[in-house]
Amino acid sequence: MSDFASLGLSDWLIQQCKQMGISKPTPIQENCVPPILEGRDCMGCAKTGSGKTAAFVLPVLQKLSEDPYGIYCLVLTPTRELAYQIAEQFRVLGKPMGLRDCIIVGGMGNPFFWESKSEVRTVEELDQRFILTPEKVKDAYLVHLIQKFQDEHDDWSIMIFTSTCKNCQILTMMLQKFNFPTISLHSMMKQKQRFANLSMFKSSVYKILIATDVASRGLDIPTVQVVINHNTPGLPKTYIHRVGRTARAGRHGVSITLVTQYDIHLVHSIEENTQTKLKEYPVEEKEVLKILTQVNVTRRECEIQLESTDFDEKKEINKRKQIILEGKDPDMEAKRKAELEKLKGKKRRFKDKIQETIQNKQYGMRKAEGTIPKCVKF
């Protein structure tokens, strides 16, 4: 493995990397830094947590420092949280050159600035991936797993991914009722709250973050030791992004995916895609059964509690907001959808009618042929 100097990086940047605890380039950095410094187009692809951000931040900063003029670099990210995280990397590495940056995100009013520190530690070992196939679907397994991690580790931190905002909210409420230090992150929360929750999780005020896929891409929280997929991801790509939130930069990490009998095909495509056979996670069923009723009752209580809030109403508002952002009129869209449904209904009835006519004809023909079996009464 080469060092940063041999990649053509300046001393001040190498020093800044050292200050962050980064002394040797990762393969993606080794392969991307020189061509970017040469001014060539570069497309990089590497596994999660392998230092892709610094692979472009470092050469961009170096080139900018050579000719610091005007707006130099525009970075596009899939989520707001990721925009802040990347800006943070630019800020930390670009501190000696007095870098100025601006974050622009949708749905939050004016762009604003954010200051915080980034943390890097030494590179360690690989991660382990498991599946857990519960006898019965549900949440008791989740509670059992968390309990186990809490009992077995002094320093623990878990990210749980689930499919919908509503489920994310219910699970959070439920785990809080079991006194687990839990916080959530999903798109139906106000952005301010999303940032606040993320930073409280990052600083270990809360040990469990329950999130939808809004948190599955790019977030770098080195302390996360376990990722639990409360639902089996529908796409292998989503699985890869989710489990990539642990075992960052060569650290240890475990991922556990809850799988029902209906998800086996999804597991197979994940295994095929990742070229990894998922191991069965051993669970003491007896222990799970002990808490089963209590967990079910608590979950139901949380569902009822949530139904009495304006959660679904907000969902409707968010949907309408999205339609407006897409440049469409939400009322017109609703009308269009209703008309489409009407048309589909008409088509369905027409199809049923044809089917019925065909059946009647067939019946008539078989009757004429005398091939219809006689009804026998006992």
- Which residues of this protein are in contact with ligand ATP, per CB under 6 A? 22, 24-26, 29, 46, 48-54, 118, 120, 123, 218, 220, 222, 244, 248-249
Between CA 57 and CA 62 the distance in angstroms is 9
Rg (CA), the chain: 27
Q: Are 158 and 225 a contacting pair, CB within 8 Å? A: yes
Q: How far is the CB of 48 from ligand ATP (least distance, A)?
A: 4
Name which of 29 and 187 has its Cβ closer to ligand ATP.
29
Name which of 134 and 253 has its Cβ closer to ligand ATP.
253
Between CA 319 and CA 325 the distance in angstroms is 10
Name which of 54 and 170 has its Cβ closer to ligand ATP.
54
Q: How far is the CB of 322 from ligand ATP (least distance, A)?
A: 25
Between CA 312 and CA 254 the distance in angstroms is 34
Name which of 78 and 96 has its Cβ closer to ligand ATP.
78
Name which of 218 and 233 has its Cβ closer to ligand ATP.
218
Q: How far is the CB of 39 from ligand ATP (least distance, A)?
A: 22
User: Could you tell me which residues are beta bridge partners of residue 158?
Assistant: 208, 226
Residue 224: CB partners within 8 Å, gap ≥ 6?
157, 158, 159, 245, 246, 248, 253
Q: How far is the CB of 44 from ligand ATP (least distance, A)?
A: 9
Q: How far is the CB of 57 from ligand ATP (least distance, A)?
A: 8
* 177's tokens: 């009722």
| Chain mean position to CA 201 | 15
Between CA 226 and CA 244 the distance in angstroms is 10
Name which of 4 and 281 has its Cβ closer to ligand ATP.
4
Q: How far is the CB of 157 from ligand ATP (least distance, A)?
A: 14
Name which of 93 and 171 has its Cβ closer to ligand ATP.
93
Core vs surface per residue 313-324: b (16+ CB within 10 A) or e: eeeeeeeeeebe
Give the Å distances, CA to CA, from 266 to 48, 228, 258.
21, 16, 12
Q: How far is the CB of 85 from ligand ATP (least distance, A)?
A: 7
Residue 154: CB partners within 8 Å, gap ≥ 6?
none
